Chains A and B, each alone.
Chain A
Amino acid sequence: MLNVALIYPELLGTYGDGGNALVLVERARRRGIDARVLNVGIADEMPDASLYLLGGGEDGPQRLSADLLRASTFASRVRDGSFVVAVCAGLQILGTTFAVEGNDEFEGLGLVDAVTRRGTTRSVGELVVRVGDRELVGFENHGGRTTLGAEMVPLGSVERGRGNDGRVDGYATSTIWASYAHGPVMALNPWFADEVLSRVLARELEPLATVADQLHEERRTTLKR
């Protein structure tokens, strides 16, 4: 059974982020793999899961989420090897510090070496990131500028939009993927959903053709025009 835990959807779900859980579980099921979404509410214990998803949220909910996660078993589960996909606010929470409500420095979970400060302008628009020989397409809407530590590897290089700093977007470790492409990034990028699934399940996946392939191709060509 593949358990995909959607963390605090009521706080970190501003931009349709729940869609990522739906897409991952559905793509696993269509290959005959038993999979389910576990919705983790703010009053719930952190459940056992192979993969945890953190979405985007407004300032207040982002701060509350960080506090709740700090008090939970989340960080120790991630250190023990559970996988994480984090977008937008989720990307910032996993780092050492982030800025909310003005320029306050707020303590993150410190799972990765990444610092987010408030940028001078908000980054709102289409985002295209080159990840190896693939392109990740999405939409970003955030006020942060994220600086990665020297040992950190970004998810990819920005071809359109801002991402962390105008050059690179997100970060990738052996168990964590993070991007500023918020909302249903897994829906727009079926190859990315399958890469995550394949790593979490530790096996090759047979190809799965869906209408999302056409969507990815359409967005990719539209945005590169």
Chain B
Amino acid sequence: MPPGFSWRDGVAKAAVRSVNILSRLSSRGSGTVIGGRVGLALSPHLLANLAQGRDVVLVSGTNGKTTTAAMIATGWGSSIATNDTGSNMRAGHVAALVASASPSAVLEVDESWLADVARATKPRVIVLLNLSRDQLDRANEVRQIAERWRDFLVDLKETTVVANANDPLVVFAAEFAANVAWCDVPTPWTSDAVSCPRCTKPLHFDDISWWSDCGFSKPQNVVTTLRDGLHVRGTALDLNLTLPGSFNEANAAMALTALSCLNVELVDALARINVVANVAGRFSVRRWQGHTVRLLLAKNPAGFSAMLATIPTDDVDVWVAINARVADGRDPSWLYDVPFELLRGHRVVCFGDRKLDLATRLDYGGVEYIVANEETPLASSKDPISVVANYTAFQEWRERSSEC
């Protein structure tokens, strides 16, 4: 039994295992959150005790958490404890650490929970990807999250923060942390950082930098650059990802920077990351009612904007599925912050609980659309049809489709 680990933790840990097995056997759930909750109820310090003695990496930010965490876990090379089911609050972390005794752990963390989880797990590395509007009905406002991060990060003297130097809100959060590895990676979405987090005056952007009149500006001492190829701490690396999109290149650059803090051999790590083809079903090609579909997850304006840019221009139909349940954020107002006009020239088939909200958005945006129902005849296509879905809609599409 590790030091600090009490009989209470032992009971709690056993409870997490048995509840999760029961949950899976009774087909009531994938069995992660429920067991973790039971364990935390029995022993509130369970997460801290489970993390003790392990090398922990935390990954947070609005977009790319799951993919980046998967890249770090894969790149690290051995068996890693990780919450790859997407349960990214404390109960999910407890379940992941109970399920694997590996000395290495990679945990993706919901933005609002990062301070708590970091205090409990004392991570070696925290990766901060980006901050933009997402589920504003729950997390209130992105600036408040940046301020909360800023408050706790100054206290973590032993942790290295791997932070995106092109996201002003992330820089605001990390600028006073003891050890920061700044990453200069492409970050096209800056619509949520137009006014300076320090002085509220307008921020200025050009092709390579950003700054405010008060002096707050892009950090210059970057360790990783992704312009004219990828360089991590002076090493040139040949990115050749299977996953699509420039946003995934940025995720890989930050994953490799995190691994460089753990003395992992980067060339080998990259070879493993390059072949990752889907992450928790994202980007996977599946079958549904005679159609071949590629499932793409996008949950907010920044994510949608990046994902729409990956859709081949010669595709005729694009399917989009929108829900607004609790896990999605109950307010789909953000549809008007997504540049759906990019889809002009395609025909969009609208799915999901909020297909009429989507259809209205597309109608006003001058994009051809149809609202799908049971009888809608849908054209088949030789190439996989892109299905872009937000969180719970994506889960529904994973369930209703089958492997190719």
The chain A residues found within 8 Å of chain B, CB to CB, are: 10-11, 13-19, 22-23, 26, 42-43, 58-61, 63-64, 122, 124-126, 139, 141, 182-184, 187-188, 210-212, 214-215, 218
**A16 in complex: contacting residue of B195, B334, B356, B363, CB < 8 Å:** B334
Q: Do B202 and A10 touch (CB < 8 A)?
A: yes
For B357, list chain A residues within 8 Å (CB): 187-188, 215
Give residues of chain B (93-138) contacting chain A, Cβ–Cβ below 8 Å.
133, 136-138
Q: How far is the CA of A64 from the CA of B138 in the complex (A)?
A: 24
User: Interface residues of B, CB < 8 Å — how many?
Assistant: 30
Q: Is B381 an interface residue (CB 8 A)?
A: no
Q: Do B141 and A14 touch (CB < 8 A)?
A: yes
Q: Do A60 and B200 touch (CB < 8 A)?
A: yes
Q: Do A214 and B356 touch (CB < 8 A)?
A: yes
Q: Do B191 and A125 touch (CB < 8 A)?
A: no
For A16, list chain B residues within 8 Å (CB): 333-337
Q: Do A60 and B333 touch (CB < 8 A)?
A: no
Q: How far is the CA of A42 from the CA of B194 in the complex (A)?
A: 10
Q: Do A139 and B191 touch (CB < 8 A)?
A: no
For A139, list chain B residues within 8 Å (CB): 137, 330-331, 333
Q: Do A183 and B195 touch (CB < 8 A)?
A: no
Q: Do A61 and B363 touch (CB < 8 A)?
A: no
Q: Do A15 and B136 touch (CB < 8 A)?
A: yes
Q: Do B360 and A141 touch (CB < 8 A)?
A: no
Q: Do A43 and B364 touch (CB < 8 A)?
A: no
For A210, list chain B residues within 8 Å (CB): 360, 363
Q: Is B365 an interface residue (CB 8 A)?
A: yes
For A15, list chain B residues within 8 Å (CB): 136, 331, 333-334
**A211 in complex: contacting residue of B140, B202, B330, B359, CB < 8 Å:** B359
**A124 in complex: contacting residue of B137, B195, B334, B356, CB < 8 Å:** B137
Known contacts A14-B141, A211-B359; is-contact A26 B136 (Cβ 8 Å): no
Top 8 nearest A-B pairs (CB, nearest first) are A183-B333, A19-B336, A16-B336, A10-B194, A16-B333, A215-B356, A60-B200, A139-B331
Given contacts A13-B337, A14-B141, A63-B200, 17 further A-B contacts (CB under 8 A): A10-B194, A11-B195, A15-B334, A23-B364, A42-B195, A60-B143, A125-B137, A139-B330, A139-B331, A141-B136, A183-B334, A183-B336, A184-B335, A184-B361, A187-B360, A188-B357, A214-B356
Q: Do A14 and B133 touch (CB < 8 A)?
A: yes
Q: How far is the CA of A139 from the CA of B335 in the complex (A)?
A: 13
A contact face: mostly helix, strand, loop, or mixed? mixed
Question: Across the two chains, which residue of chain B brings its CB closest to A67?
Answer: B200
For B191, list chain A residues within 8 Å (CB): 10, 13
Of B191, B363, B371, the most chain A CB neighbours within 10 A belong to B363
For A125, list chain B residues within 8 Å (CB): 137, 330
B contact face: mostly helix, strand, loop, or mixed? helix
Question: Across the two chains, which residue of chain A brings its CB closest to B201?
Answer: A64
Q: How near does chain B come to A165, taking the closest CB pair, in angstroms?
A: 20
**A11 in complex: contacting residue of B194, B331, B365, CB < 8 Å:** B194
For B371, list chain A residues within 8 Å (CB): 211
For A23, list chain B residues within 8 Å (CB): 364
Q: How near does chain A come to B197, taking the closest CB pair, in angstroms?
A: 8
**A19 in complex: contacting residue of B140, B141, B142, B361, CB < 8 Å:** B361
Q: How far is the CA of A18 from the CA of B191 in the complex (A)?
A: 12
Q: Do A58 and B141 touch (CB < 8 A)?
A: yes
**B136 in complex: contacting residue of A14, A184, A187, CB < 8 Å:** A14
Q: Do B364 and A26 touch (CB < 8 A)?
A: yes
Q: How far is the CA of A73 from the CA of B142 in the complex (A)?
A: 31
Known contacts A14-B141, A64-B195, A141-B137; is-contact A211 B356 (Cβ 8 Å): yes
Q: How far is the CA of A212 from the CA of B336 in the complex (A)?
A: 14
Q: How far is the CA of A16 from the CA of B357 in the complex (A)?
A: 13
Q: Do B361 and A187 touch (CB < 8 A)?
A: yes
Q: How far is the CA of A212 from the CA of B363 in the complex (A)?
A: 9
Q: How far is the CA of A218 from the CA of B332 in the complex (A)?
A: 14
Give residues of chain B (350-380) contacting chain A, Cβ–Cβ below 8 Å.
356-357, 359-361, 363-365, 371
For B195, list chain A residues within 8 Å (CB): 10-11, 42, 60-61, 64
16 inter-chain pairs at a CB distance below 8 angstroms, sorted by A residue, are A11-B195, A14-B141, A15-B136, A15-B331, A15-B333, A19-B364, A58-B141, A60-B200, A139-B330, A183-B331, A184-B333, A184-B336, A187-B357, A211-B363, A211-B371, A212-B360
Known contacts A42-B202, A61-B195; is-contact A215 B133 (Cβ 8 Å): no
Question: Across the two chains, which residue of chain A brings its CB closest to B138?
Answer: A124
For A122, list chain B residues within 8 Å (CB): 140
Binary CB contact string for chain B from 194 to 215 against chain A (1 if under 8 A, 0 otherwise): 1100001110000000000000
For B336, list chain A residues within 8 Å (CB): 16-19, 22, 183-184, 187
Give residues of chain B (329-346) contacting chain A, Cβ–Cβ below 8 Å.
330-331, 333-337
Q: Do A141 and B202 touch (CB < 8 A)?
A: no
Known contacts A10-B202, A18-B336, A183-B331; is-contact A215 B141 (Cβ 8 Å): no
Q: How near does chain B come to A177, taking the closest CB pair, in angstroms?
A: 18
Q: How far is the CA of A61 from the CA of B331 in the complex (A)?
A: 21
Question: Across the two chains, which residue of chain A brings its CB closest to B142?
Answer: A58
Q: Do B356 and A64 touch (CB < 8 A)?
A: no
Question: Across the two chains, which residue of chain B brings its CB closest to A41?
Answer: B202
Binary CB contact string for chain B from 290 to 333 against chain A (1 if under 8 A, 0 otherwise): 00000000000000000000000000000000000000001101
Q: Do A64 and B200 touch (CB < 8 A)?
A: yes
For A13, list chain B residues within 8 Å (CB): 191, 337
Q: Do B356 and A19 touch (CB < 8 A)?
A: no
Q: How far is the CA of A130 from the CA of B137 in the complex (A)?
A: 23
